Amino acid sequence: MTLKAILFDLYGTLLFLKSNRRPYLQLCKTLRVSDRLRESLLVDAHSLLDFCTHLDLAPPPGLSMLQQILEEDLHSATLYSESLSTLESLKVRGYRLGLISNLASPYKQPFYRLGLEEYFSEILFSCEIGMAKPNPQVYRLALQKLHLAPEEALMVGDRQRPDVIAPRELGMQSLWLNRQGEPSQKGHIQSLSEVEEWVLREDF
């Protein structure tokens, strides 16, 4: 089938945090939260304080400092140099664009502040839909909203399991964005600017 839509991850793919001190992870370590509970950050829209309340745990003394760190992290969010030009080129070519991102609710702010919303037909944040990649239901929901078969969609992201392997297992096409490494395999790119080239070649 013809490729009709391209789905993107957000952090590490379209934008990055210059100051990435991961306050939620710091909070989890301070509270000695298990990995399973930590994952709930991705599917519940909690602030740092709400996360403590949700777990029925007393906020640690350093919570205000963690909140300041969070605000600094969010303020430092920056687009990769090729992000907007790539999105614009793909839209001009008639592709529908979607976003699938695992994140805690505050991390949505840079997406809207940097004006990315206008490029996407569908936006799926884990904290809003109650599930996170690589749960196959996440990709199925995106396909359902876009009215597409799996083979009509391409997923692009910087993490292999949630952005590359899991979509392929569902029948989607995928590209692994690895800016640090040398191209080593089919479906591996080093820059978002290569997405359009791959799409035109249909070489996945």
Decide if pLDDT at 39 tops 90. no
Region 6-20: mean pLDDT is 96
20: its two tokens: 């990435």
pLDDT cut 70: percent of the chain above it: 95
Decide if pLDDT at 185 tops 80. no
CATH number for the domain that contains residue 118: 3.40.50.1000
At 204 the pLDDT is 43
Region 123-134: mean pLDDT is 95
| Element holding 174 (H helix, E strand) | strand 173-177
Helices (H) and strands (E) in the chain, counts: 11, 8
Q: Which amino acid is at 91?
A: K
Residues 108 and 141 in one domain: yes
Residues 36 and 112 in one domain: no
Residues 183 and 111 in one domain: yes
Residues 164 and 67 in one domain: no
187: its two tokens: 């479906």
At 183 the pLDDT is 62
Residues 48 and 100 in one domain: no
Residues 53 and 86 in one domain: no
At 115 the pLDDT is 97
188: its two tokens: 């591996």
DSSP letter string, 64-79:
HHHHHHHHHHHHTEEE
pTM: 0.92
- Top pLDDT among 86 and 37 is at 86
The mean pLDDT value of the chain amounts to 92
Residues 121 and 57 in one domain: no
Decide if pLDDT at 45 tops 60. no
- Top pLDDT among 197 and 186 is at 197
Residues 167 and 185 in one domain: yes
Q: How many domains does the chain have?
A: 2
pLDDT band for position 43 (cuts 50, 70, 90): confident
Range of the domain at 64: 23-75
Partner residues linked to 174 by β-bridges: 155
Could you tell me the maximum CA-CA distance found in the chain, to the nearest angstrom? 56
CA 113 to chain centre: 16
Decide if pLDDT at 127 tops 60. yes
Domain end point (choices 59, 75, 91)? 75
Residues 61 and 136 in one domain: no
Residues 94 and 52 in one domain: no
Residues 31 and 86 in one domain: no
List, for residues 129-179, the tens digit of each pLDDT value. Answer: 999 999 999 999 999 999 999 999 999 999 999 999 999 999 999 999 999
At 159 the pLDDT is 96
Decide if pLDDT at 184 tops 90. no
- Top pLDDT among 88 and 183 is at 88
Query: In this predicted structure, which of 14-23, 88-97, 149-158, 162-171 has the lowest mean pLDDT?
Result: 14-23
Residues 56 and 91 in one domain: no
Query: In this predicted structure, which of 35-39, 74-78, 128-132, 167-171 has the lowest mean pLDDT?
Result: 35-39
